[in-house]
Amino acid sequence: MGREWLRTPEEWGVEPVPPDRRRLRLADLGILWFSLGVGLLVLFTGALLVLLFGLSLFEVLVVSVAGSVIGSLMLAAAGNLEARHGVPTMVSLRPVLGRKASWAPSALNAFQLLGWASFELMVMGLGLGLVSGPVLGGATAYVWIGVLAVWVAILALGGPLVVVRIWLERVAVWLVLASTAYLTYVVVTDPVFAPSFFTPATAGDRPLGLALDLVIAMPVSWWPLVADYNRFARRPKDSFAGTFLGYTVSNSWFYFLGAGVLVVFGLAAESTDVMAFVGAIVATGLGSLVLLAIIVGETDNAFANVYSAAVSAQNVMPRAAQRSIILVVATASFVAGSFLASQGHAVSALYEGFLFFVGGVFVPLLGVLVADQIARRTYAESEFADTAPASRPIAILAWVAGIAAYFSITGIGLVGTAVMWVDGFVGSPIGAACPRSPSPADFTWPPRASSRPRPNARLDEPLESDYHEGSDTFRRECYHLGLRGR
């Protein structure tokens, strides 16, 4: 094992992977995509199905499974089509959009991956701060974010084969399975679980279809980088089956588990801060160990974001050294993650808008890719090289039309989503003097679990005393105003 880590790994940029270097089996890819579906942010998104949509746990289960199946089918289909050619996802767009036109989705992909890595490092760093306690005072979380960024950079420099064969299969996936099984046991055996299964805990007013789309967006968010890893699959059918089975199981599991944590631990519906859910996990019997195991398993998510951001950049700058780009992306993710943690911004508003952006931009692009491959059936190897046409206007117009149709159908404007992000970074939602979300300095040690739901009360029925400026209820009302663009 030591020799494998010390050996300089092969660096695959945008060139096709030769067949004799495609070594990942169905089981390898299943483990990879199961692990990539695991994360604290996925738990938090599952809780949003209760908070924002007013779904019961039964409805969350149905929506989670249905959305995971649909989204994972799309993800697996894309990975299967691209695995035939052994090229990264952004390179696979060259025959569809054109060589130079593929730079646009490459830039958008690098942007979203930097965002994902920053969110991941922030949440994992704050989580480790809860586990360790404030051993370094207010700097504890930032030190952890730095340590995680270094580890993620090491994984990215090792590459997909090293991460899957050594880190995931020998260490991380087993810790994740054990910790998630324990947390699931705690949730489903709690006395609150059974009576709450068919009863909505909140009075959300958003359409069910949008909840389904929020679940589909999670696997689809991995589509722009699926071929960065599935190009190493031995056979296309291994790529499809491993991706579909692995991601469907973990995504369904974590969405439902996140909703269960919210309901069972009685987290107030007005608390839309991701760290409230992390604190609830820590407050369980073996919560610190559970959280630590989940974070260990989640490091591969940040690895994938950093590694694929470098690969996407190489589609625009093929002569740039991949290792240098990885170090730049990891450093930028550390800075952005630390900034988010220090400012304590409304992460939930940014995060939900982030998911809708991913769905609105990349789902239509996936549709264009699949339609083009069905129509043309096969591509010449030269179409993936620098000799490919600069652009294909019809495909570009189809992509733009798809983006417009998505935001028109969902009722969430692209400009409004961008304004919400900027507003979340520079202050509070427009038109409301909302307080910030908690920063590392706001957390107490040891963490305390939220109180149980009041008898005969819904989670979204706040006490009269809750309506004061600075309260969680006040923050939630401001948050909803921001999302609705008022």
What residues contact 328, with CB distance under 8 A and at least 6 apart? none
Q: Whole-angstrom Cα distance, residue 29 to residue 18?
A: 18
CB atoms within 10 A of CB 467: 12
With CA atoms as reference, report the closest residue to 347 among 118, 79, 15, 18.
Answer: 118
Q: Whole-angstrom Cα distance, residue 449 to residue 446?
A: 10
Q: Whole-angstrom Cα distance, residue 265 to residue 164?
A: 34
Q: Which residue has the tokens 């029925």?
A: 461
Are the C-beta atoms of 276 and 267 separated by less than 8 Å? yes
Cα within 13 Å of Cα(1), Cβ side: 8
User: In the prediction, which pLDDT does 157 show?
Assistant: 94
Are the C-beta atoms of 38 and 251 separated by less than 8 Å? no
User: In the prediction, which pLDDT does 453 show?
Assistant: 46
Class of residue 165 by CB neighbours under 10 A (exposed 0-12, middle 13-18, buried 19+) = middle
Host H or E run for residue 241: helix 236-264
pTM here? 0.80
Q: Where are the alpha helices (DSSP H) in 37-172?
A: 40-51, 57-83, 89-92, 94-97, 103-132, 140-158, 160-162
Residues of the chain with pLDDT under 50: 1-6, 269-270, 345, 419-421, 424-439, 441-458, 460-486
Tokens linked to 220: 């689809």
Q: Please give the span between the terminal C-alpha atoms of the chain, in angstroms, as a whole number.
A: 57
Dmax (CA) for the chain in angstroms is 69
User: In the prediction, which pLDDT does 411 show?
Assistant: 63
| Sign of the dihedral through C-alpha 84, 85, 89, 93 | negative
CATH number of this structure's domain 20-435+444-483, picked from the four choices 1.10.4160.10, 3.10.560.10, 1.10.357.10, 2.60.40.10: 1.10.4160.10
Q: Whole-angstrom Cα distance, residue 273 to residue 472?
A: 9
- Supply angle C-alpha 261, 263, 269, rounded to 5: 110
Across 134-146, b (16+ Cβ under 10 Å) vs e yields beeeeebbbbbbb
Contacts 24+ apart (CB under 8 A), 320-329: 322/11, 322/13, 323/11, 323/157, 326/153, 326/156, 326/157, 327/153, 329/110, 329/113, 329/114, 329/117, 329/156
Q: Where are the alpha helices (DSSP H) in 265-346?
A: 274-282, 287-316, 322-343
With CA atoms as reference, report the closest residue to 98 among 395, 374, 401, 398.
Answer: 395
* DSSP conformational letter for 39: -
